[in-house]
């Protein structure tokens, strides 16, 4: 799964990586948590844009917003079958920019957090889905979920799942609103190359969503984390 990640690249770098004209001004975030507003990239008839989406997908048919907290991730193997995700998979795919993410390993009766990123520390994009929900009072919330797949060799010692990470060459295909490219899209839902990634243990300070700052991604010895 993916329950915490970092969005810390500056707007100019994000604009270049994801080919958008404007990026909302936002401070670097080292501890993005579920139900928070996060940056997402979508495509429409008006072009590609980066905007805020609430993390935790709220289906358009949901009676209220409470379902979103349970839908922060979508298993890629069943995304076409689940009522909460199948329409979004057809028509409303998005990319969630990230600079790294966290997973926890159970060891000696405790959970040790690890940080995963690209070896060159470059930003990348999670495969996501998004929805637009409107309440009875006409409140509109745009929300999203992150797709997951089986772990690669870097993740496997820590967790058996990982977020789907897209190659930049596949961004256009993933954002294409043409739902007829189903088989091509499914081919993208695979573990990212382990050779491009690195991981290391970090402080348990990441456990609290209130904590922020670059110290959260500093490498730590496991016995002192």
- Catalytic residue numbers? 2, 103
* DSSP-assigned beta bridge partners for residue 5: 32, 101
How far lies 45's CA from each of 171, 215, 217, in Å? 16, 41, 38
Question: By C-alpha distance, which of 98, 99, 78, 100 is closest to 89?
Answer: 78
How far lies 90's CA from each of 24, 47, 79, 98, in Å? 27, 18, 10, 23
Residue 157, SS3?
coil
């Amino acid at each position: 799964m993916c329950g915490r990640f970092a969005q810390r690249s500056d707007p100019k770098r994000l604009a270049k990586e994801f080919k958008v004209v404007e990026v909302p001004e936002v401070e670097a975030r080292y501890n993005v948590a579920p139900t928070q507003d996060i940056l997402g990239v979508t495509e429409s008839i008006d072009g590609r844009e980066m905007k805020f989406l609430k993390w935790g997908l709220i289906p358009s048919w949901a009676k209220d917003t409470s379902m979103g907290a349970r839908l922060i991730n979508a298993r890629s193997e069943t995304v076409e079958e689940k009522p909460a995700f199948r329409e979004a998979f057809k028509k409303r795919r998005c990319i969630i920019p990230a600079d790294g993410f966290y997973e926890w390993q159970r060891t000696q009766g405790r959970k040790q957090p690890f940080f995963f990123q690209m070896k060159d520390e470059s930003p990348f994009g999670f495969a996501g889905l998004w929805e637009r929900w409107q309440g009875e009072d006409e409140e509109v919330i745009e929300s999203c979920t992150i797709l997951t797949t089986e772990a690669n060799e870097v993740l496997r010692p820590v967790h058996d799942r990982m977020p789907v990470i897209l190659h930049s060459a596949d961004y256009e295909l993933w954002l294409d609103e043409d739902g007829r490219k189903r088989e091509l899209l499914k081919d993208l839902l695979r573990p990212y190359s382990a050779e491009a990634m690195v991981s290391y243990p970090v402080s348990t300070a990441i456990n609290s969503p209130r904590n922020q700052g670059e110290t959260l991604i500093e490498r730590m010895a496991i016995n002192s984390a």
